[in-house]
Structure formats: structure tokens, C-alpha cells
Amino acid sequence: MVSSPSTTQLFGVAMLVVGAVVLLFSLRYVWRAGRVFRSQSVTSLAGVTPGSYVRVAGAVEDGDEGALTAPFSGRESLVLRYAVEERRLSPLLLPWFVTIHERAGSVPFRLRTPAAAVDVVEPAHTVTLDRATVATVDADEDAPERIARFERRTDALPTTTAWRDPPGPLRGIAAALSFGTRRYTEQRASPGDDVTVVGRVTESGDLDPLVVSDRSRGATLRRMAGTSLLGLAIGAFAVAMGLVLLFVA
């Protein structure tokens, strides 16, 4: 008679499945980020095969669909990424700023190169530009009106958290360590700014951006792939633990 698997073995199978899924998603993102290096550097899309990934550097120019308004500074931008960070306790038991809300996007714009004007038509989902801190607000301070209005209107961003409003006995410690302090940052590209766009050439001869960056290829790759390193570590650990529980325990 074949014995049924133990609870430990079932848990090991579950760990294997979860770890494999996390690994696959993380590896997929690392492979995607690797296109920053694998893409061909061009100054024009003329003659480039649709579906190819290219890297185009140039100056940002206005498109035909207006601009985005940065939520914290109110500045108009063609490419925008904004984030809200909150000071909390890190896994190493040290205070640090944790991103609690983040969005990125763009409107259609043109990239002026020495050879041509390249239309970037689809919204950018990954933006790696120079970051400006618009405001830093302590937990017991009132945010500037524009930021306060943004927080009230954004359902995905809680107006308060346990770090901003801790239980009474912990308030002294939280204040001393600046827990709950929020930092509001923006990354913007406006007409005249120099950027590099890595993306896929569309059938119509435009560019569908993978990333808009003002950094070197190496720095852009590290920024894109860095978010996946934790996933790779967690996935590898879960797979290893699953194997141990399945075949050793």
C-alpha cells in the first residue's frame, strides 16, 4: 500500500510551486530589463524591422496630445513618474523610506535625434529619470494643499497609517525616529530634456517604449532589474526549502 503524503511533504510541494512561480516572474522581468543592453542603438527608425527593440537618444519635443500635470509640483511634463514614500522600520530594524504609492506614464511625444524625429506613441510604464523631492512632511505636520488634495482624492494611498498614528505608548519612539514622515518625489521629462528611450518598433514605424531614462545603460539596467533581485532570492529560497521538506524531512 502506498502511504499518503505527510503534511510536511504537502507543505514542501506548496513551497516548490510558490517558489517556482516567483522565480519565473522575476526571471521574466530580468530578461525584459536585459533588452536595455541587447537593443540596437539607432538615430532613426527608417529601415528598422517592426518588432525590433532599439535604443534611441535625443531631446524631448512636444507631441500632439498636451502634457501631464505632476501631482506634487504642478509642473507640466511629457514623461512622469511620482512616488510617495513613508519612513518605517526596515527588515534590518533600521528606519528607512518605503514606497507606498507610485505611478508612471507619459503622453505621446517626439524624440529629436541628429538624424530624425522619432515618435514615441505608447505610454511609458518604466521611467528612470533624475528624481526631485518636492516635499518632506513629518507625521504631525500638514502637507501642502496640492499634496493634501492629492492624498484625499487617491484611494490607493491611505491618508494615515499605523506609522503616522501609532498607539499612545509608542508615539514618543515613533517621533524620535521620524516614523510616518512622508517624502513626495517626482521624475519628469519636459521639452528640451535629453533622454534615452528603449522600446519596440511598431508596424506604423513609431516607438513603443520599454523604458525612458536619462541614465547610462548600466544604471538603467540596475534600476530595472533591482526590483527583481528580492523576488529571485525569495523564489530560490522557497524552492530550496520545498526540496528539503519534500525529500529530506
Indicate if the pLDDT at residue 124 is higher than 50. yes
Continuous segment of H or E residues that includes residue 29: helix 7-33
Indicate if the pLDDT at residue 24 is higher than 50. yes
The mean predicted confidence, pLDDT, of the chain is 88
For residue 92, name the pLDDT band (cuts at 50, 70, 90): low
For residue 2, name the pLDDT band (cuts at 50, 70, 90): very low
> What distance in Å separates the CA atoms of residue 161 and residue 159, rounded to the nearest whole number?
7
What is the three-class DSSP state of 173? helix
Query: Closest by alpha carbon to 189, among 101, 73, 61, 45?
Result: 61
> What distance in Å separates the CA atoms of residue 173 and residue 163, rounded to the nearest whole number?
11
pLDDT in tens, 154-193: 998 988 899 998 988 888 988 998 999 999 999 999 999 9
- Residues contacting 209, CB < 8 A, separation 6+: 106, 120, 122, 123, 124, 197, 198, 199
Domain layout of the chain by residue ranges: 1-33+218-249, 39-215
